[in-house]
């Protein structure tokens, strides 16, 4: 269970956020650009520090203002798929995927083979990044994030730069990945279709706050 409860000051507004996501959840932060969604992801990942509050994952304290704790990003085991994918243009697909793997073992090799097959990029491993389509880059970025064996996966508008058909395919793959991984997925989007297809918990945001919470037993089944 990921538990997020913190405040952070911005130039134009303040973020005051409180939500939780379980191991079976794809929790969606939904709202217009500029409402604080990406900043929340960056705080969970440890790339920004809130003013006060707490962030916990399965009892492990990532951040606590009361206890003066702020764990460095490399110790949080948080996978982060950035909006622009942040792939290294000078490395091949394979080298991008393996960049963050600290120790190569039989398990990591099997994980690599399984993920590249699941996300249909086995034939692209020797290709340069600039020779990939938007959907292919998206899949490479997903595999790279999961190769770090994260306990939480953050997805910042992962489908915004690809066509509708590819988006539909990857929505299916994201659901498959979440069921397999059984870790909280936190998805940022302002696309209502993605919300309906992917979200088990929907947090409608406005001006740095959650204005409405919606829960789903299964996709499209409101409770």
Is the pLDDT reported for residue 95 higher than 50? Answer: yes
Measured CA to CA, the distance from residue 177 to residue 143 in angstroms comes to 10
198 CA to centre of own chain: 13
Mean pLDDT of 86-92: 93
For residue 214, the model assigns a pLDDT of 85
What domains can you pick out in the chain, each with its CATH number? 2-222 (3.40.50.300)
Which residues, in sequence order, are CB contacts of 140 under 8 Å at separation 6+? Answer: 85, 87, 93, 96, 97, 121, 124, 129, 132
Average pLDDT value for residue range 178-200: 91
**pLDDT tens-place string over residues 121-154:** 999 999 999 999 988 998 999 999 999 889 999 9
Q: What percent of the chain has pLDDT over 90?
A: 66
Per-residue confidence (pLDDT) for residue 83, from 0 to 100: 80
Residue 78: which of 36, 45, 121 has the closest Cα? 45
pLDDT at 216 over 80: no
Q: Tell which wins on pLDDT, 218 or 96.
A: 96
The yes-or-no verdict on residue 220 having pLDDT over 90 is: no
Q: Check residue 217 and give its pLDDT.
A: 53
User: Structure pTM?
Assistant: 0.90
- Output the pLDDT for position 223: 38
Give yes or no for residue 161 having a pLDDT over 60: yes
Counting residues of the chain whose pLDDT is more than 70, the rounded percentage is 96
| Cα–Cα dist 158/138, whole Å | 7
Q: What is the mean pLDDT of the chain?
A: 90
Question: How high is the pLDDT of residue 148?
Answer: 86
Burial readout 147-176 (b: 16 or more C-beta within 10 A, e: otherwise): bbebbbbbbbbbbbebeeebbeebbeebbe
Taking 60 as the threshold, does the pLDDT of residue 219 lie above it? no
The interaxial angle of helices 134-147 and 164-181, nearest 10 deg, is 10
Mean pLDDT of 84-104: 89
| Alpha-carbon span 133 to 129, nearest angstrom | 9
In 3D space, the residue among 80, 71, 72, 58 whose CA is nearest the CA of residue 146 turns out to be: 80
Decide if pLDDT at 158 tops 90. no
């Amino acid at each position: 269970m990921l538990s997020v409860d913190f405040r952070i000051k911005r130039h134009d507004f303040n973020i005051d956020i409180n939500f939780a996501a379980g191991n079976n959840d794809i929790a969606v932060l939904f709202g217009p650009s500029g409402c604080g969604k990406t900043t929340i992801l960056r705080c969970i990942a440890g790339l920004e520090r809130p003013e006060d509050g707490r962030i916990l994952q399965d009892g492990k304290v990532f951040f606590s203002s009361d206890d003066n704790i702020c764990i460095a990003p490399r110790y949080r085991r948080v996978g982060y798929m950035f909006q622009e994918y942040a792939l290294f243009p000078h490395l091949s697909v394979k080298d991008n995927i393996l960049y963050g793997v600290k120790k190569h073992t039989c398990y990591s090799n099997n994980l690599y083979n399984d993920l590249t097959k699941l996300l249909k990029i086995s034939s692209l491993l020797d290709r340069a990044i600039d020779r990939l389509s938007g959907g292919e880059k998206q899949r490479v970025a997903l595999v790279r994030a999961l190769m770090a064996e994260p306990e939480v996966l953050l997805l910042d508008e992962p489908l915004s730069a690809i066509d509708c058909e590819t988006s539909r395919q990857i929505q299916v793959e994201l659901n498959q990945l979440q069921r397999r991984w059984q870790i909280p997925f936190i998805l940022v989007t302002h696309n209502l279709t993605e919300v309906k297809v992917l979200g088990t918990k929907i947090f409608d945001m406005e001006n740095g706050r959650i204005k409405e919470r919606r829960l789903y037993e299964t996709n499209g089944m409101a409770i």
